Each structure stands twice: as C-alpha cells, then as structure tokens.
Structure 1
Amino acid sequence: METKGAGRSLAWLLATWGVTRLVLLLFVFKVWIFPGGLDVTSDVSVIYRGWYEVLRQGTFPLDDVTWQYPPAAALPVLAPAALPFLSYEHAFFILAFLADALVLWLLVRPGLRSGRSLRGAWVWLAGVPLLGPTVYARYDVMVTAVAVAALLAGVRHPRVMGALTAFGALLKVWPALLLVGCFRRRAWASAAVTGAGLAAAFAVSMPGAFAFLTFQRDRGTEVESLGALVFHVARHFGWSGQVLLNYGSIEFLGPHVDQVSTAALALTGAAFGWLLLWRLRVARRTPTVLADAAFTAVLLFTVTSRVISPQYLVWLVGVAAVCLTYRASRMGAPALMVVVASFVTVLEFPLGFGHVVASDRYGVLLMVVRNGLLALAALTAGRRLWRATVTPVAATPLPAEPAHPHQTPVSP
C-alpha cells in the first residue's frame, strides 16, 4: 500500500514538473511574454553571447569588468556550442532545462529510499517556477546541479563530493561552502587536489583566468541587497546618492555607500566566525549535518552579501531541497521561508523592478519582505543547526528503583 502511494506521489511530481517547466520554456523562448516589461533573457543573448565570442578565442574577457566569475564559468558560457543546430540563446535555455531535470532526478533517487523523503524534490519543483524565467536565463541552475550532486554524494563517496565541490567553486565560488559541515578528510583532500589542478590548468591554458578577483573592488551596494534597505529608506529623507548601472548590476552609489558595503563584509566575516565556532563545538554528527550545515552557510553568506540577485535563490532552493530529502532534517521551516521568498523575488524582479529602483513604497515593501524572509531563514537555520549538533541533550532521569516490600525507605 505504501509503495502504491509513493508511486502516485512520484507520478504527480513528474507531471507537475513537466507542466511548470514547459511554461518556463515558453517564456524564455518568447512564445509567451512574461509580464513586467523586462526581458530577463538579455543576459544570455547579449552578455553571455559576447563572452562566448571572446572565450572561443582562448582568452577571458579581460576588458569587461562585468566578468566577475571564476575560470570554470567559461564552460557553461561555451556549452551552447554543443548544440550547433540551435541559436546560442535557445541552446543555452535547453541546457538550463536539462540541468533542472538533472537536479530533480538527483533528488528523486534518494527520496524513494527508506528513511528518506520526496519533500526535497517537491521543494525544487515549487521553488524554481516561483522564480520565473530568470532561472533558465542564468547559468546558476547549472552550478546548483553540481552542488546538489556533491552534497548527495558526500555521505557515501567523500572523494566524489570533494571533486564536485571544487569544480562548483571554480564555476561560481559559493559551492565551497558545502564543505562547512564535512568532517571527512578524504573530501577535503579531494577538493584541494581537484581545485588546484583545475585552477592551474586554466591559468596555463587561458590568459586572465583570475582577473575576476580585481574586478569587484569598486562595487557599490546592489539595490536588492539587505544593506540597500538603508538607502531605499534614506532616499525618502533627501539622501543625495544615485542609482546607477555599475559592474553589471543596479547599485547605490554615493555618500555612506562605502560604510554600508564595509558593514556587509563585516557581517560576512562574523558569519564565517560563527561557522568556525560551530565546527569547533560540534558534539553530535547527525546524518543530516552535511546538508543542514551547507544550507545554513549558503543562507548566511547570501543574506550578508552586497548583492542578492534573483538567481541567488536558485542556490538556496537547491541546497534546501537536499536537506529535505532526509526525514530527520530540521530545516523544514527555513526551506519554506526560502520558497516563499522565491515568490516575493519574482514580484520584485522582473515584475516590480521599476518600483525597487525608484525606492517607492511598494518597492521598499517587497525588499523588506523578501530580505526579511531570508534573514529569518538564516537565523532559524543557524539556531536549529546549533541545537541539533552542539547544545547538550538534557539527560532523561532514570526511574527510581522500587523499594523492597520489606524495606523501609530511608528519609532524605
């Protein structure tokens, strides 16, 4: 009976995934026009396509400060060449769709095992379409597929996890956080060897592999970040700064932006310090600790970032989904907050981005709700992780031994 119920649940899962992803494809292929007036696919047709033309010459785009990615990011940008019968944009969308399908498959497999759950697959199913067509118009879904594969491999195959984590970090840095909850030396050694080898290969074969490290020095505070709320409110009280396209995103530039950006970096440092303290204090390594710690770390570093672009939510949805493949995971509430934040994210980009840029009441409300949900999710995840692995479990008192029928109890 249980097998029959699981089969029905899986059938509904796959059918719903197919319908929602077909809708996403219709939007990015522009069969249907997504509301809001912003073309979210322009990053692919203009920016990625421009990088593609440079990268295929054997060098990184050294003259473009919007290239702010590690060297392996060249691979998803060049990947549409594998489908030469399609235009660059259409090939990219198909590859993003396939990465989405891969994540679902990776989540369904463990979800059908004893003691595991399909809740993770449902989180991925719901979270991705709530973000809208932006998911298929950025390469983050491909990075997330690598990260999900790494986390799921971690328990049984630590060397595979280490190699995939290093590869993911060279795609977009953040997957390095997956190792926060890993206590297997083989995983760390594999990550170090793979990362060093790939970095050396890129450095030798393509000039400018690590130029991205200096391209973000003069960034401001992006309008969707947590710190940007300071300036959204300050604009209503005469703040004299500007909102400009800078380094590929819409940022606040002007008085006190440097201080807010520095504060964001300080918060990131504090988050790193808390995670280090957690590792030193861990007393119980539960079966879910690898995924739960990774989710907490990605949440903390996302919330404290100077940039919280819509595609960042793809990372969070993917890692949250891995957590919920475990029935015992305590990350249910933070995962739900991330899914709700995904819906608020599509309301602010692309649907309400003009309101956000203008810092009007509706735009500020969207940013308060979205970033508030992410901050609350991070705090909740951190608290639950700490309580599950560090806080001592209260000892259950043993029942008093009954007195012998002919024995007189001794008074205290």
Structure 2
Amino acid sequence: MTRPIPLPRTRTRTHTHSTAEDRTVGTPSEPSPARAKRSLPVVRVVGLAITWLATRALMLWLLRHDEMTLLGRGSVSREVHGLYFRWYVTLTQGGFPADDPRWQYPPGAGPVLLSPALLSPPLPPLTHVEYFDAFVALTLAADALVAIALVRAARRPGRRLHGAALWIAGLPLLLHIPLARYDVQTTALGVFALLALSRSTRACGAFAAAGALVKVWPALTLLGTPRGRTTREAWTAAAVSAGALLLVLALAFEHPFSFLRQQGARGVQIESLGGTALALARRAGWPGEVRYQFGAMEFTGPYVSAVAAVSLLLTAAAFGLLLLWRLRARRWTDATPYDAALCAVLLFTVTSRVISPQYMVWLLGLAAVCLTSRHTTQRPVAALLAAAAAVSALAYPVLYAQVTACTWTGCLVMLVRNGLLTAAAVLSFRRLWRSSRPPSPTPPHIG
C-alpha cells in the first residue's frame, strides 16, 4: 500500500505588536506617517490661507474698534490692557499675583503672560500699549501655527482638511475675543499634544503637561490614549514634564501655587448652565443679584451655593462617566484619542460653574483635530459647537447688557447657547461610547 504524500502546510504569519492599540478590534492599519504622505489640493490650501488672512484682518479691525456698543465698549481689550498687563508687571518682579483674587490660573500661565516681552528689548519694561500689541501679535502667531499643524495633519493617509477649515472659519465666529485672551495659546498646546500622539508619545505627553500648567484642561487630551505602552509612555512623559516645569517655575517665581486659594471661592457665573437657571429664577421673582467678583459677573443671593454644589457634583459625575468609558472601551481608531479629548472637555465645560466665552476656543480647537480624521464620530458635535460659538458672540459682547440684566432676551440667548453645548456634550459621549464598543458578531449565514 502506497502511503499518501502529506501536503505541505500553509503557515499563517502572525504579526506581533507590542502596543495594545494594535491588538484592539477595528483599529485601521495605516502606513507609517513618516513614510506615507499625500499631496494636498493646492487650490484648497491657498483658499484656506486667503480665508485666514481675511478673517484675521477682520478680527483685528473689530479689536481696534471695540469701543463700539455692540462690541462691548472696550471690555474685550480691557482684559489685556488692564488685567494681563498688571499681572505682567508683578511677574517681572519675580512673583505671582498672590493677593489678587482674580488670579486663578496654574503657574504655567506666568510665562505666557510674560511672553510679549520677547518682542521688545529687555529694558525698559513694556508700556501697556506695547504689551497689548505684542500680546495680540503672539496670539495671531499661535493661531497661525494651529492652522498650519492642522493642514500638515491632512497630508497623512485617511486625513482631511476639514479640521483646518473649521479652525480657520470657526474662530471668527467669536468675533475679536480670541485675540484678547490667551486661550488660543493654550489651545495650541492641546492641539499639538493630540497631533503628536501618532508620531511621538513623549512629545504628546510633554505638550499636554505644558498646556495643563497653563490652564488645566489640556491634561484631558491624554484620556483617550490607547491602552498599553502608548498610555504608559504618554502619561509618564506628561508627569515628568509637569514635574520639571513646576520645579523651574517654583525656583523662578514666588507663590507659584497661590491660585489654589482663589478657586474655592468662585461662585456661579451668569453664562454657566447654573447661571441660566438662576437667571430664569430671577425672572420668576428670585431675589438674587448679579455682581462682579473674581473677575466675572456672578450671581449672589440665596441658593447660589446650592447651585454651585450641584455643578461640582455634575462635574464629578462627568468624571465618573469618562472613567467608565475608559475601563469599558475595547475598540480604538486613530480618531479615538481626539474624540475622547473633545468629549471630556465638553463634559467638564458644561458642568462647570464658569463658562466664559473664550472656552469656545478650546472646543473649536479640539473639534478641528477630530475633523482631521475620517474615522471621527464627532462631526455633528462640531456643527453644534460652531453654532454655539456664534450664539456665544451674541451673549458676549453684543447682548451682554441683556444677559447681565437677566432680561427675557438675555435668558433666551443663554438658553440657546447652553442648550447647544448640552446637546453637543450628550451627543459626543453617546457617539464616543458606541464607537468604542466591539462590533457585534455576524450571525452565520445558513442557506
């Protein structure tokens, strides 16, 4: 009997990866960004550049004419002319403004507020006019760097120019406010952290740490890093960078942690979700008042502390939801870290006791990063945020007198703006949660 000749076995090569993100279900395989780039349509890139130049020229014009009633009667630029410049003078003397109740920012804000001095000789100190011009110039530079980074991100396979378009066209919806606040610089650090993740986890962590030391929220850009080595490297880099920066700032300035004393005394700002509820209560006869304190218009009166406590509880609940998502997530795409960052900042913004108009700069920047990826789940959220930004400009500075007086017009504007933000937060978390679940098994076909 002839023995059958065994056929050669076909061996299936199994690729092993050291990172958990490559083991998750549904992660798209893309060429290395260092090896694979694509050319962008020249017409679209030139169009974006022209749009940036035109809209920023308009924003500068608005800033130069903000004494107009509809533009806030100078209240927008006064933040830089008065408050920032006063802090700059204190910082040049080697200390943080510890006795100023309006100083509520981490120590990393100090170098940002000192940065206009880079555009002038060391001596003599800047005048308030020179400081204002230099501050606006640096803000425009940071804005341009964000736009360039978003365009460069679109050169990778699977990426789009939609993010750059949202940033360039969306920021002017806030009128001239972004040019007179340092939130553009903070947003730039958050955007750089997210875009660096695919290239260098250590750079991602360093940018996130630097941003968190300026305004705490950029730390949330690390929430969606895939499990495994990526998370360990990014979070370790963030911790080491934050520690090193804090040490340098503590050695260079006095009272670096004085801001912690001011945070607990914050009340309920009139533009927050709780503030909208109190404004409606005032229309119904509640005896509370609106008063300027801690650098914002806040409610004072009975039940304000209870509303503030509810806001803190909602923030804690939001943190719990995000932690639950992190523990239950099983599926990552290249857009998941972006989507998670936007969702986290949205939830913390909506539940905050303070929703200043410049907070929209953060959300537009994060939404722009999401739109660079074709895998993002946050496209409808970005549309809601663009609408909310436009309504925010109505609330401040255009109709701020109505908002402060709690008229029906002011209440309606805040209801619409905060309603859009709340809807965006709920939709963002829902879509993030669903996108991170493993796909349902396909039933076997019987036929």
Q: Give the TM-score band, short-chain normalised.
A: over 0.9
386, 399, 404: which one aligns with 2:445: 399
Structure 1 gaps of 5+ residues are: 402-412
Residue deviations 1:26-51 (CA, integer Å, cap 9, x gap):
22234995834431100000000000
Partner Cα separation in structure 2 for residue 4 and residue 110 of structure 1? 11
Does the 8 Å contact 2:190/2:211 carry over to 1? yes
Partner Cα separation in structure 2 for residue 56 and residue 113 of structure 1? 43
Q: Percent identity between the aligned chains? A: 46
**Larger deviation: 32-41 or 333-342?**
32-41
Does the 8 Å contact 1:28/1:93 carry over to 2? no
Partner Cα separation in structure 2 for residue 243 and residue 92 of structure 1? 31
Does the 8 Å contact 1:26/1:32 carry over to 2? no
The answer to whether the aligner puts 1:350 opposite 2:393 as a matched pair is no
The answer to whether the aligner puts 1:318 opposite 2:353 as a matched pair is no
1:218 deviates by 1.8
Q: 1:5 to 1:279 in 2, by over 3 A?
A: closer
Corresponding position of 1:202: 249
Residue deviations 1:233-265 (CA, integer Å, cap 9, x gap):
111122111100010000001100000000000
Q: 2:443 is aligned with what amino acid?
A: P
1:5 deviates by 8.0
Q: CA RMSD in A?
A: 1.6
Corresponding position of 1:172: 215
Corresponding position of 2:30: none
Give 4+ residue runs of structure 1 displaced > 4 Å after superposition.
Answer: 31-34
Partner Cα separation in structure 2 for residue 162 and residue 134 of structure 1? 29
The answer to whether the aligner puts 1:15 opposite 2:47 as a matched pair is no
What SS does the aligned partner of 1:251 have? strand
Corresponding position of 2:103: 67
Matches within 5 A, 1:7-406: 7-30=42-65, 33=68, 35-39=70-74, 40-84=76-120, 87-183=130-226, 184=230, 185-390=232-437, 392-400=438-446
1:399 deviates by 2.9
Partner Cα separation in structure 1 for residue 244 and residue 40 of structure 2? 47
1:360 deviates by 0.7
How many matched pairs?
398
Partner Cα separation in structure 1 for residue 85 and residue 79 of structure 2? 8
Partner Cα separation in structure 2 for residue 288 and residue 36 of structure 1? 37
Does the 8 Å contact 2:51/2:169 carry over to 1? no
Residue deviations 1:40-78 (CA, integer Å, cap 9, x gap):
100000000000110000000111110100001011111
Partner Cα separation in structure 1 for residue 66 and residue 378 of structure 2? 38
Partner Cα separation in structure 2 for residue 18 and residue 33 of structure 1? 23
Structure 2 gaps of 5+ residues are: 1-37, 122-128
Partner Cα separation in structure 2 for residue 121 and residue 135 of structure 1? 17
Q: 2:280 is aligned with what amino acid?
A: V
What SS does the aligned partner of 2:60 have? helix
